[in-house]
Amino acid sequence: MSQASNDIRDPRAQVKQWLASGDLRSLLVHAASLHGHYCPGLAFGVKAAHAALRRLGFENTGMEELVTVVECNNCFADGVQMATGCSFGNNALIYKDLGKTAATVLSRRSQSAVRVCLRPHRWEGDRATELEREANRLFTKVVKQRDPDPEAQRRLGEVFRRLSFATLEKEEDELFDIREAPAHFPEYAPIYDSAICAVCGEEFMETRGLVRNGRVVCHTCAQADCFGVLGGGVRVLPGGNW
């Protein structure tokens, strides 16, 4: 069977080969296609996911046999998501709004779990490399201060790319605290029927319906509060707006 045919039958065939062979560079390139750019956080996510999966097994068909809990909503989460194959869409990615660069991967098959947490790391001070100190300066300028300087943006992209691939060469124990975790599994995602909003006519999950003037309507038409994940974490969106 050709590689192309195998990829059609198993869409994660190539990813599983990279995982099994420890080809973290290819995994990082693949993750960057989702994330949009290279950065150390993305590399941390890829490497953390590989560390957990190597202990649990690389098989994942997206049917909740693997579940991943991420504790942050940043670059790290995209690396973890791409490597594990756990996503919001296949109901296998859980977000805990803790602000920690950490992920727990749980395997229903082995009834076991592994948590990987990034050790404290600073890009400043005597222990930082010159490239890390430059990255810290540029990150402050471009990302924190939103400076539109195109040369600074270009240079940050180059520095981040170099640091990302260099991160893959570091030892796991240098970067992470890795330990077994309690294997507490969430329930399988329930399947709900759909309803039709009496106002806008759009279809939505029936459990999200609200009754207004005797009619079932969606949250949007009811202008009701809802939860959302924004850059700052989980927030209540008053009236569905931010």
Task: Check pLDDT > 90 for residue 4.
Answer: no
pLDDT tens for each residue of 158-170: 999 999 999 999 9
Work out the mean pLDDT of the chain and round it to a whole number: 95
Q: Domain residues of the chain, as ranges? A: 3-121+161-180, 194-240
CA–CA separation, 50 and 77 (whole Å): 13
Per the CATH hierarchy, to which homologous superfamily does domain 3-121+161-180 belong? Tubulin/FtsZ, C-terminal domain (3.30.1330.20)
Tens digits of residue pLDDT in 7-24: 688 999 999 999 999 999
- β-pair type (93-95, 66-70): parallel
Task: Look at the block and give the residue holding tokens 């069977």.
Answer: 1
- pLDDT digits 0-9 by tens, 136-154: 999 999 999 999 999 999 9
